[in-house]
A and B are shown apart, each in its own frame.
Chain A
Amino acid sequence: MSNRIVPLSKTPKLKQLAKLQCNIFRTTYNPQQLRTEAHILRKPLKGQIISNYYGPADFPTPFQIAKLWKSDDFRLVIEKEDYRQRRVNMLRKRGKGAPTKQKGPADAKKKK
């Protein structure tokens, strides 16, 4: 492009030449150099990849799996949950556990 002094679309003869060139090499003839944005149609969609970033949705959690295969002679242990349970029990035995939830409505705020 740079070494061409007169642009192909300036004079009528050169215009014809440009059109012929486009016909031969199967390129788009765009004398006014308009924006067509055809690349938007051709680019692959990336929504699928973007929405799957955090892995499959509604994949069964350990709790759900443990519930599925629950039976008398077979017990699935969820290590994290097991550790939490044992820790809470130990704290309760020592009297350091969380206080029990109050059943009744909370008392009205005392005025100062």
Chain B
Amino acid sequence: MSEVLKIVKASKPMKRFPQPVSIPTGFLNTRVLRDNFKRQMAAQYEVTTKALKFIARNAALPQKVRIEAQVQLTALPNFTRMNQVRDRCVESGTSKKIIKPFRVSRYQFRLMARDGEFPGVKKGVW
């Protein structure tokens, strides 16, 4: 598949967001795109955020350095934070009642499980 990927031209990064990100394949939606952007940014800034947090919370470091780190941390834009990402349905984009191991919402899960898309999942009888 990697050869195919090379031949296929990569989609253009989106300009609607402050930083260009790649577009996911599969179901697309404004909210999915927005969440995807936040995910990419959170991953990109993860090391920086953690390092700043380490400096700010470490009581052994000089007070001025700690305050500076805290200021820098709060100055970062919201989209770099991990708690901004929300699990969304991969099939329909809804954010409610997501079944985590399969990353789909309840209705999509039911349809897909009935079709046998998930190995091992069958109708519950007990």
Q: Is A53 part of the binding interface, using a Cβ–Cβ cutoff of 8 Å?
A: yes
A68, B9: Cα distance in complex, Å: 11
Contacts of B50 in A (CB 8 A): 40, 45
A69, B4: Cα distance in complex, Å: 11
Residue of A46, A53, A56 most packed against chain B (CB within 10 A) = A53
Partner among A35, A56, A59 whose Cβ is within 8 Å of the Cβ of B59: A35
Q: How far is the CB of A48 from chain B (nearest CB, A)?
A: 7
Q: Is the CB of A55 within 8 A of B39?
A: no
The binding surface of chain A is classed by DSSP as: loop
Q: Is the CB of A54 within 8 A of B8?
A: no
Partner among A36, A40, A54, A68 whose Cβ is within 8 Å of the Cβ of B60: A36
Least CB separation from A45: chain B residue: B46
Q: Is A106 part of the binding interface, using a Cβ–Cβ cutoff of 8 Å?
A: no
The size of the chain B interface, using a CB distance under 8 A, is 32
Q: Is the CB of A57 within 8 A of B57?
A: no
Q: Is the CB of A54 within 8 A of B24?
A: yes
The size of the chain A interface, using a CB distance under 8 A, is 24
Least CB separation from B51: chain A residue: A40
Residue of A50, A55, A56 most packed against chain B (CB within 10 A) = A50
Q: How far is the CB of A101 from chain B (nearest CB, A)?
A: 24
Residue of B25, B47, B50 most packed against chain A (CB within 10 A) = B25
A47, B53: Cα distance in complex, Å: 16
Using a CB–CB distance below 8 Å, which chain B residues touch chain A? Answer: 4-5, 7-8, 10-11, 22-26, 32, 36, 39-40, 42-44, 46-47, 50, 53-54, 57-60, 82, 85, 87, 90, 103
